[in-house]
Amino acid sequence: MASVPSRPVAQAHSMTTSDLSALSRPMRLTVLGATGSIGKSTLDLVSRTPEQFEIVALTAQSNAQALAALARQHRAKLAVIGDENCLDALRDALAGTGIRAAAGEAALVEAAEIPADCVMAAIVGAAGLRPTFAAAAQGKRVALANKECLVSAGHVFTAEIKKSGAELLPVDSEHSAAFQALAGADPEAIEKIVLTASGGPFRTWTREALETATPEQALKHPNWSMGAKITIDSATLMNKGLELIEAFHLFPVSHDALDCVVHPQSVVHCLVSYVDGSVLAQLAAPDMRTPIAVALAWPNRMTSPTEKLDLARLGSLTFEAPDESRFPALRVAKAAMRRGDTGPAVLNAANEIAVRAFLDRRIKFLEIAALVEETLDAAERQGAICPASCLDDILAVDDVARRLAEDSLSRY
């Protein structure tokens, strides 16, 4: 395999010497996006061994009551609500606790900057960019569940990680699996990294049937419990395209050494092929608490209440190639990855607009990928797909892409 630049996750492969592995005190942990799926799973693990953690800050976008309840339960020092209109409700819910309440984007960034041993970056969407960049700049551990940092701002974000010396550990099950299967391998020995996809709820549907797929049907994922946005991305296979882009920035391989395969049981999460013919796979029940536990405890392991695999009971594991004719979002995402520069940022922004439009019944299921592709073409014509040197560049392109997507949407 041709030599490729190292990616920052490779720094985490040598974490046996990390200060985190030798902490004699509880791990100071901040959770950005505490009321979402990843945030709640993280705090579920924390609640099982509370003596091992000290919760520094918790954030949420608008659910003040849920945020306050979590802050009270885990005795957080700071609770931040993204929506400033919810600040009074948060303050009322925390009255008498001594927990400081704050609101707005600047407060989210402040929460990420408070000294902590680990920041769980689980804010969904572009709203998580500035806080996660702020966490990376602290030079500690970032457990990354926010896709946008690598999809939209991959080169810029990884440069910040390298500059600060932070430890970057992926929380997506597929990337966590690859991280474990790589285990500090020589980049020259890696032949291929293959991410697995469940195939979502429409894996066996015909293209004709997909024309009339409803949001309710798309939200019924067969294996995983996730938020609406990620569940729709799983149904279109866009999530696998986004994960390939993430993997390119995380691991020391070229575009051509990244692939995906449909695996309906969601037991094998990634396969890493080596030049000697060996293939290492990571297996686990489909429960996000496993990769979260890896990110929190690495290089050690912590107990997780996830279901233990019984391969004899499962009987068989099956694999098939993804069908890009029925699920064109995967093809569109791969093209954006190969185009590079701010192409993935445009892809991500347009997809957020398209998914929301589908959930609002403004477009059909197969029109999600079509809208994203139209937006990419329009952005290319306008010169919006270009190199970026800082987060502000990325956010500017994100704004342009959203306007272009909305323009295209008005014609549907």
Sort residue 102 into left (φ over 0), alpha (ψ -120 to 50) or beta: beta
pLDDT greater than 60 at residue 3: no
Is 0.85 surpassed by the pTM of this model?
yes
Q: Which domains does the chain have, with CATH numbers?
A: 9-171 (3.40.50.720), 175-314 (no CATH), 336-409 (1.10.1740.10)
Q: Which pLDDT score, from 0 to 100, does residue 224 have?
A: 64
> What value does the mean pLDDT of the chain take?
93
100-125 burial, b at 16+ Cβ within 10 Å, e below that, comes to ebbbeeebbbbbbbbebbbbbbbbbb
Residue 29, judged by CB atoms within 10 A of its CB (0-12, 13-18, 19+), counts as buried
Identify the burial level of 136 via C-beta atoms within 10 angstroms of its C-beta, where 0-12 means exposed, 13-18 middle and 19 or more buried.
Answer: buried
User: For residue 252, which amino acid is it?
Assistant: P
Question: What is the C-alpha radius of gyration for the chain, rounded to an integer number of angstroms?
Answer: 21
Confidence band for 223, pLDDT divided at 50, 70 and 90:
confident
Peptide bond into 299 cis (omega under 30): yes
**Per-residue pLDDT at 92:** 98
CA distance 164 to 112: 14
Report, as an integer, the average pLDDT of 324-352.
97
Q: Please state the φ and ψ torsions of residue 290, each to the nearest 5 degrees.
A: -70, -55
Residue type, 377: D
Among residues 197, 257, 189, 254, the alpha carbon closest in space to that of 224 is found at: 197
14 pLDDT more than 60: no
DSSP codes joined into one string, 79-146: EEESSGGGHHHHHHHTTTS--EEEESHHHHHHHHHS--SEEEE---SGGGHHHHHHHHTTTSEEEE--
* Separation between Cα atoms, residue 222 and residue 31, nearest integer Å: 28
Residue 169: beta bridge partners?
143
Evaluate if residue 265 carries a pLDDT over 80: yes
pLDDT band at 157 (very low <50, low <70, confident <90, very high): very high
**79 φ, ψ (degrees, to nearest 5):** -125, 130
pLDDT(6) > 60: no
Q: What pLDDT, on a 0 to 100 scale, did the predictor assign at position 23?
A: 62
Reply yes or no on whether the pLDDT at 12 is more than 60.
Answer: no
Q: Residue 219 phi/psi, 5° resolution? A: -85, -5
CB 184 within 8 A of CB 252: no
Q: Where do we find the tokens 């939209």?
A: 152
- Check the CA dihedral 194-280-224-144 and report its sign: negative
pLDDT tens digits, 97-140: 999 999 999 999 999 999 999 999 999 888 899 999 999 999 99
* Stronger pLDDT, 227 or 30, i.e. the higher one: 30
Q: Give percent above pLDDT 90 in the chain.
A: 89
**Please, is 272 exposed, middle or buried when counting C-beta atoms within 10 Å of its C-beta (0-12, 13-18, 19+)?**
buried
Residue among 76, 81, 70 at smallest CA distance from 131 = 81
pLDDT reading at 385 higher than 60:
yes
Confidence label for 214 from pLDDT (cuts 50, 70 and 90): very high
- pLDDT over threshold 70, residue 173: yes
What residues have CB less than 8 Å from 407, skipping those under 6 apart?
A: 378
Report the C-alpha gap between 314 and 312 in whole angstroms.
5
pLDDT in tens, 224-233: 666 788 899 9
* Cβ contacts of 380 within 8 Å, gap of 6 or more: none
What residue spans of 183-310 are helical by DSSP H?
A: 207-210, 215-218, 228-236, 238-250, 289-297
